Amino acid sequence: MHRTPHWSLEQLPDMDGAQFRQWQALLETRTGVCVSEQRQVYLQTSLGARMRELGMRDYQLYYEYVTEGISGALEWSALVEWLTVRETSFMRHRASFDCVAQFLAQRQSAVSDRPLQFWSVGCASGEEAYSLAIVMEQSLVASGQKRRDYGIWATDISQHALDQARNGCYPDRRLGGLGEREREQWLERLHNGQYRVVPALRDRVCFTRLNILELAQAPIRDLDIIFCQNLLIYFRRWRRRDLLNQLAMRLAPGGILVIGPGEIMDWNNSLLERVPDDRVQAYRRRDSMECLE
């Protein structure tokens, strides 16, 4: 690899059209994320940040480096950290979590003989998964149950995000949608001013790396809740539909799939019915008997 010997603050040259298309295609093939031409500057800035770290200035040489051999594969996993948008917060879209709470109020009695299973798909640094755990704990209290077994899968392509998620420490600005009492109950204030999720919630979540394009290989199924927000918006519409169809198959009968409002407009799946709540975009998997009707 051709490198200048030290980290450089020098501005990189602009990408030409062919270079942009080459990088755009690589990112989309490997992650599903589609960067439109209007966002070329974003791609260039993110790539440039990593290239400057390496002391590289040539997009073509860097492309060849990333796409060749084992060192290329290792470099790709480092680069992905620069290319993914990982913005998130606790209870980011509150109405969606209210919908989960309503669902759980019924689900807990409907499914009494097995642990409930949830999945946060594209969980970033974990706030969404912990928010689901909070809603579940609140639902247990509301239903008067002392204990009920449940577990949360939380997956993302970014190793760095998953490390942060397992650590469970957050600055104040990430606590966003939590009420004052929720903060006090579920987070401990640390000496450095950050907040750490209490062990009772951390123990419920299993964070693991998964590229959603490799969904077929994931052994996660029979879910009561699949929560997938602000991930599919970066994908082309045909891919959103394809992935949503695959996620629908992973729901247990009666389970719900919650996506972000407006994330897809023209999608139907005969296994599912829309949850009648205008504030959210959620779908319930019909029971097998309903499908036969």
Return residues touching ligand SAM (CB under 6 A).
31-33, 84-88, 92, 122-124, 128, 156-158, 161, 211-213, 229-231
Closest CA to 226 of 251, 260, 263, 209: 251
| Least distance (Å) between residue 125 CB and ligand SAM | 7
If the CB atoms of residues 33 and 56 are measured against ligand SAM, the closer one turns out to be 33
Give the whole-angstrom CA distance, residue 115 versus residue 128: 20
Q: Which residues pair with 10 in a beta bridge?
A: none
User: CA Rg, the chain, in Å?
Assistant: 21
CA distances from 180 to 85, 117, 184 (A): 28, 27, 6
Give the whole-angstrom CA distance, residue 22 versus residue 216: 27
| Least distance (Å) between residue 226 CB and ligand SAM | 12
| Least distance (Å) between residue 72 CB and ligand SAM | 18
If the CB atoms of residues 108 and 155 are measured against ligand SAM, the closer one turns out to be 155
Three-state SS annotation for 118-143: EEEECCCCCHHHHHHHHHHHHHHHHC
Site of tokens 């169809």? 245
| Least distance (Å) between residue 194 CB and ligand SAM | 19
CB 142 within 8 A of CB 252: no
- The stretches of 17-146 forming alpha helices (DSSP H) are 17-31, 40-54, 59-66, 69-83, 94-110, 127-142
If the CB atoms of residues 75 and 108 are measured against ligand SAM, the closer one turns out to be 75
CA distances from 158 to 20, 40, 139, 150, 165 (A): 23, 21, 31, 25, 11
If the CB atoms of residues 58 and 81 are measured against ligand SAM, the closer one turns out to be 81
If the CB atoms of residues 116 and 123 are measured against ligand SAM, the closer one turns out to be 123
Q: Which residue has the CB atom at the shortest distance from ligand SAM?
A: 88
If the CB atoms of residues 108 and 230 are measured against ligand SAM, the closer one turns out to be 230
Amino acid at 245: N
| Least distance (Å) between residue 106 CB and ligand SAM | 25
If the CB atoms of residues 12 and 35 are measured against ligand SAM, the closer one turns out to be 35
| Least distance (Å) between residue 114 CB and ligand SAM | 26
If the CB atoms of residues 198 and 218 are measured against ligand SAM, the closer one turns out to be 218
| Least distance (Å) between residue 166 CB and ligand SAM | 14
Q: Nearest 5°: CA angle at 181, between 125 and 130?
A: 20
| Least distance (Å) between residue 254 CB and ligand SAM | 23
Give the whole-angstrom CA distance, residue 291 versus residue 273: 11
